[in-house]
Amino acid sequence: MATRWGLCGAGKISHDFSVAIKTLPPGDHRIAVIASRSIDRAKDFAQKHCIPKAYGSYEELANNPKIDIVYLGMLHTEHWRVGMLFLKAGKNVLCEKPFAMNSRKVKDLVATAKKNHVFLMVVSFALRTLANSSGNLRVSFYNLPQHWVEELCWMYCLQFVLMVFNGERPESIQATGVLLDSGVDESVVVTMKFSRKRMALCAFSIAARLPNDAVIAGTKGPLKYVLGPMHCPTKLVVNDKETEYPLPEPCLPLNFTNSAGLRYEAGEVRQRLLKGLKESKQMPLADSVLLSEIMAEIRKQVGVVFNQDSQ
């Protein structure tokens, strides 16, 4: 039986997610509902994506018993509030990144999912095969547009680091950065020390043109490259051998680079739900919590404060 998806939020990433789902076998995945704060937007979206049901509120989706999983595609500042609505209603949730604006709210979501015995996962990327490096790691993001920083895209670098270090907590974190007058982090460099003398270095910047790829390097040199865009890659280089992982042609134009790759998330969710599991092995909830704590420490050291921190 197909996994029945309910999409929440009729914006750009929900469009891309819907297109990505359509690259998967229809017998495996079916989008049953689109919910928007506006019934007109929901109906337009439903017509464009051939979705049978459109709701003009998120609450209606939360009350629909015929949905297997909700995709939270709304603005990231709303993930915690709306995520809580669905988790408390007993719905499984795949949340767009980031889970929430701070570590307290991430932990709140995870605890609520556990309490209600439902599945919860944040959007990640499918690169586990590169894990288990014994070497050092460098990840950088080039020339980020400001909204990428505001949407916490730098978490992709940290997700990658945690993936390579198998969710291990760093022994120490050193972060330094430059802020814009508005308080937005313009450039940040982070070094993390892990057990057995291993290190990771992450850099991202709105101002400087850094390479947008990830490298895992050990004593034998740079062994593994994830060619940019590192958060949604299609090319890996391992021991000088490049392998391409092409994405299928989308049935409609996409808003974001390579976002047909969201199909990997959908596939992972289906596999876990079929097994009755409550989280993903690819992006475990413990990693999400640790990621939020690392982000909090980096923000503290660099001096980045969000309104949500005091709410």
Ligand X SMILES: O=C1OC[C@@H](O)[C@H](O)[C@H]1O
Ligand Y SMILES: NC(=O)C1=CN([C@@H]2O[C@H](COP(=O)(O)OP(=O)(O)OC[C@H]3O[C@@H](n4cnc5c(N)ncnc54)[C@H](OP(=O)(O)O)[C@@H]3O)[C@@H](O)[C@H]2O)C=CC1
In whole angstroms, how close is the CB of 274 to ligand X at the nearest point?
A: 27
Binding mask 51-90 for ligand Y (x = CB under 6 A): ----------------------xxxx-x------------
In whole angstroms, how close is the CB of 73 to ligand X at the nearest point?
A: 11
Task: From 146-154, 173-181, 197-205, 276-284, give the range in contact with ligand X by CB under 6 A.
Answer: 146-154
Helix axes 12-21, 262-274, angle to 10 degrees: 60
Which residue of the chain is nearest ligand X when measured via CB?
Answer: 151
> Does the footprint of ligand Y cover residue 38 (CB under 6 A)?
yes
Nearer to ligand X, 142 or 148 (CB): 148
Q: How far apart are CA 311 and CA 306, in angstroms?
A: 10
> Does the footprint of ligand Y cover residue 256 (CB under 6 A)?
yes
Q: How far apart are CA 105 and CA 114, in angstroms?
A: 14
Task: From 33-41, 114-122, 219-227, 269-277, give the range in contact with ligand Y by CB under 6 A.
Answer: 33-41
In whole angstroms, how close is the CB of 256 to ligand X at the nearest point?
A: 5
> Does the footprint of ligand Y cover residue 295 (CB under 6 A)?
no
The residue count for binding ligand X (CB under 6 A) is 7
Burial class (CB in 10 A: 0-12, 13-18, 19+), 98: buried
> Does the footprint of ligand Y cover residue 46 (CB under 6 A)?
no
Task: From 148-156, 165-173, 183-191, 244-252, give the range in contact with ligand X by CB under 6 A.
Answer: 148-156
Nearer to ligand X, 145 or 248 (CB): 145
Query: In this structure, are residues 3 and 270 in contact, taking their beta carbons and an 8 Å threshold?
Result: yes
Query: Site residues for ligand X, window 243-262 (CB under 6 A)?
Result: 256
Task: From 7-15, 85-93, 107-115, 291-299, give the range in contact with ligand Y by CB under 6 A.
Answer: 7-15
> Does the footprint of ligand Y cover residue 36 (CB under 6 A)?
yes
> Does the footprint of ligand X cover residue 150 (CB under 6 A)?
no
Q: How far apart are CA 89 and CA 4, in angstroms?
A: 16
Query: Site residues for ligand Y, window 145-184 (CB under 6 A)?
Result: 151
> Does the footprint of ligand Y cover residue 250 (CB under 6 A)?
no
Site for ligand X (CB under 6 A): which residue of 28, 44, 108, 151? 151
- Give which of ligand Y, ligand X, none residue 148 binds (C-beta under 5 to 8 Å, depending on kind): ligand X
In whole angstroms, how close is the CB of 151 to ligand Y at the nearest point?
A: 4
The gap from C-alpha 52 to its chain's centroid, in whole angstroms, comes to: 27
SS3 of the chain: CCEEEEEECCCHHHHHHHHHHCCCCCCCEEEEEEECCCHHHHHHHHHHHCCCEEECCHHHHHCCCCCCEEEECCCHHHHHHHHHHHHHCCCCEEECCCCCCCHHHHHHHHHHHHHCCCCEEECCCCCHHHCCCCCEEEEEECCCCHHHHHCCCCHHHHHHHHHHCCCCCCCEEEEEEEECCCCCEEEEEEEEEECCCEEEEEEEECCCCCCCCEEEEECCEEEEEECCCCCCCCEEEECCEEEECCCCCCCCCCCCCCHHHHHHHHHHHHHHHHCCCCCCCCCCHHHHHHHHHHHHHHHHHHCCCCHHHHC
> Does the footprint of ligand Y cover residue 96 (CB under 6 A)?
yes
Give the binding site for ligand Y (CB under 6 A).
Answer: 9-13, 36-38, 41, 73-76, 78, 96-97, 123, 151, 256, 259
Applying CB under 6 A, which residues contact ligand X?
97, 147-148, 151, 153, 231, 256
